[in-house]
Structure 1
Amino acid sequence: MVRRKRLDDSDCPVARSVDAIGDWWSLLIVRDAFDGSRRFGEFQRSLGVAKNILTARLRALVDSGVLASVPASDGSAYREYVLTSKGEALFPVIVALRQWGEQSLFEPGEPHSELVDRRHERPLRALEVRAADGRRLDPGDTEVHKLPTGD
């Protein structure tokens, strides 16, 4: 079996992010957590993933601080998985993936799900990257600068 290269010591924030939550099962678990799933069985039914894979992904998401394993809210012996503040900060990532998929991966009129504003029952406005002064930025408007080490 080929071992996956670890990127948790990379100096690139994208590489570290992909290392922490970049596989599809982890992203789908986070999506389901935003949609209200909390228990192992709920994630398993929604995703149809093998129990050993789900166990490993949930453990990794807890270990990385994206999810917390807490006592079940109904007082039973079960555990539930809840998003931490670190996990909730992934909301724009999930919305961006959803919006990209809606725009790029469906034919016109093809059925799909849609994320809506709960208060107004309307689709969300497309996410945009903005400069500190509010200007809309495209890829050509940005560049990566390496930060000096904090010795």
Structure 2
Amino acid sequence: MTKLIVVKNPMYRKRFTGMNCTIARALDEVGEWWSLLIVRECTQGTTRFDEFQRELGIARNVLTARLERLIEAGILERFPLQDRANTDGYRLTGKGEALYPVLVALKQWGDDWLAPNGKPPLELVDRKTGEPIERITVHGKDGSPLSFRDLRFEPGPGATSTTERVIENRNQRILGQADERSA
């Protein structure tokens, strides 16, 4: 008797396009690690396929697939390279450039929690002043820092009844805990 063995494809990735959550939908476009590393490389001046491959140590087929996906998502665009006939380069679109604060927040988190011996490999400084940049934080209109416990979720214009239940449950769990702590 032959036994059928089903092997799940480890490369299979669930799609979040139908989920009514903008975090999930953003992860659908840039949540795979190579994607954000390609975006990082673009912010460091990398434009050519061979440069991406060399800097990231990524397989050609994986790089090709990720570049195509980022172009399809409107995060990257192709442009003709001046110094190489019939060759395109890759650069960030406005949508891609808008990911920069995400990269900076990830860098700062990594510096705090993952830097070897607590020593980050590089610092980001303002080009004009030479001063280190401010940390990426969530803050109120008055400038005071806020944690997730300081925020109340409210339905947005795209909320569904499911979203409203999630909001109500979240606010009850998180804000109720905050109220219990302060009592």
Farther-moved stretch of structure 1 (101-110 vs 36-45): 101-110
1:25 Cα offset (Å): 0.4
Q: How many aligned residue pairs are there?
A: 150
Is this contact kept in 2: 1:68–1:83, CA < 8 A?
yes
Structure 2 unmatched ranges of 5 or more: 1-8, 160-183
Choose the corresponding residue for 1:22, options 31, 42, 52: 31
Q: Deviations over 1:92-119 (max 9, x none)?
A: 0000000111111024464612222222
Counterpart in 2 of 1:140? 149
State which drifts further: 21-30 or 121-130.
121-130
The equivalent residue for 2:18 is 9
RMSD (CA atoms): 1.9
Question: 2:174 — aligned with what?
Answer: none
**Pairwise CA distance, 1:122:** 3.2
- The correspondence for 1:84, drawn from 66, 72, 93, is 93
| Aligned counterparts, 1:1-151, within 5 A | 1-2=9-10, 3-74=12-83, 76-108=85-117, 110=119, 112-149=121-158
* Deviates most, 67-76 or 96-105: 67-76
Q: Which has the higher helix share?
A: 2
The one-letter code sitting in structure 2 at the alignment partner of 1:13 is T
The CA distance in 2 between the partners of 1:38 and 1:81, in whole Å, is: 5
CA-CA distance at 1:75 after TM superposition: 5.5
Q: Distance in 1 between matches of 2:131 and 2:149?
A: 31
User: How far 1:148 moved relative to its partner?
Assistant: 4.6
Runs of at least 5 residues in structure 1 that lack an aligned partner in the other structure: none
TM-score (normalizing by structure 2): 0.75
Change (3 A) 1:42 1:11: same
- TM (normalized to structure 1)? 0.89
- Aligned structure 1 segments of 4 or more residues deviating by more than 4 angstroms: none
Q: Report the 3-state secondary structure (helix = DSSP H, G, I; strand = E; otherwise coil) of the residue aligned with 2:153.
A: coil
Q: CA deviation at 1:69?
A: 0.9
